[in-house]
Amino acid sequence: MDIELKSTLTSAQELLLMKYHDGECSRLECWRVRRLLNAHPHAGTFLTELGRTGMCSDALSIHCPSGIDLWDRVERRIVQEECALALLSHKKVAGVKVPERKFFISPWIARLGWGVSGALVTASVGAIMIEPRSFNDRPGLTLASTGNTPRIVENAPLARTVSTMRSGLEADYLIGGGSVGIIDAPEGRSPLLWVNRSRKSDRSAALQKVVPVTQTLNAHSLSHLGAR
C-alpha cells in the first residue's frame, strides 16, 4: 500500500503532486500536474497511491476511468473460457491456415527451453524482490566521515539524496529556508539538521573540519557543498 521508496520523481514533482492531492494547487499548478501526469509514467502511480487514502482527483479519473472494474472483466473472460471449453471442443479458426512450424530440434525440447526460460525469468524477478534493499546502497551524496569530531556541512538550500554513511540520517531531499547543515551526533546516532537562516550570527562552534564531497548529484544537484 505504500509508495515505492525509490521514487523516480524529483522532489519538486513529488511536492507538486502532494499539493495537488491536498487540493492546494493553483490553476497553473493544476495544469502543470496534468502535464506531468501525461509525461511521467510514475506520476499517475504516485497520485493513485495518495488517492487510495481518501480523496479522488480529476486527474485520477483521466487515468483510471470509473465504472470499469478489471476484476469483473477478468472474471467474465474466465467464465467465457470455461463455457467455451465445456461446449466446444478445441478452438479452430476457420479460414486461417496456420503454417506448420519447423523446428531444427524436437518441438518438445523447444517448449522445454521456453519453460525453463520462463522459470528463470520468474526466479530472477523473485530474487530481485526478495533481496533486501539497503538504503545505504542508494546512489547519492556521500559525506566523508571526519572521525568523532563534530562537524557541520553547510550546503545549498536544496540537497537531493543525502545519506551519511556512518550515522543514521538519510533523506531524499532537504530544502531549507537557509543553508542546511548536518551536525554529527555522538555514539553513531542520527545527526542533527540545522537550518542556518541568519548568516550574521556565527554559530560555528561545532565546525572543525572541512568535509570533502565525493560525488556530485545528477538531478536537482547541489550547486556546491562547501564546509568551513
Residue 219 lies near other proteins (rule: CB under 8 A): no
Q: What are phi and psi of 70, to 5 degrees?
A: -60, -40
Residue 187 lies near other proteins (rule: CB under 8 A): yes
The enclosing H or E element of 181 equals strand 179-183
Binding residue (CB under 8 A) for other proteins from 170, 209, 213, 221:
170
The enclosing H or E element of 164 equals strand 158-164
176: left (phi over 0), alpha (psi -120 to 50) or beta: beta
Q: Which stretch binds other proteins (CB under 8 A): 25-33, 34-42, 179-187, 213-221?
A: 179-187
Binding residue (CB under 8 A) for other proteins from 125, 165, 210, 219:
125
Contact by Cβ (8 Å): 158, 171: no
Binding residue (CB under 8 A) for other proteins from 144, 176, 209, 220:
176
Residue 13 lies near other proteins (rule: CB under 8 A): no
Q: Pick between residue 93 and residue 129 the one whose CB is nearest to other proteins.
A: 129
What is the number of other CB atoms lying within 10 angstroms of the CB of residue 36?
A: 21
Contact by Cβ (8 Å): 152, 182: yes
All cell numbers assigned to 225: 557543498
Binding residue (CB under 8 A) for other proteins from 144, 183, 213, 221:
183
Q: Give residue 52's identity as a one-letter amino acid code.
A: R
Query: Residue with C-alpha cell 530440434?
Result: 105
Contact by Cβ (8 Å): 156, 226: no
Residue 66 lies near other proteins (rule: CB under 8 A): no
User: Per-residue contact track with other proteins, 94 to 113, x per CB under 8 A?
Assistant: --------------x--xx-
Residue 83 lies near other proteins (rule: CB under 8 A): no
Give min distance, CB of 27 to other proteins, in A. 22
Q: Which stretch binds other proteins (CB under 8 A): 25-33, 191-199, 209-217, 219-227?
A: 191-199
Residues 129-158 that bind other proteins (CB under 8 A): 129-130, 132-133, 135, 150
Residue 53 lies near other proteins (rule: CB under 8 A): yes
Give the rounded distance of the alpha carbon of 131 from its chain centre.
17
Angle of the 27-39 helix axis to the 41-52 helix axis, nearest 10: 120
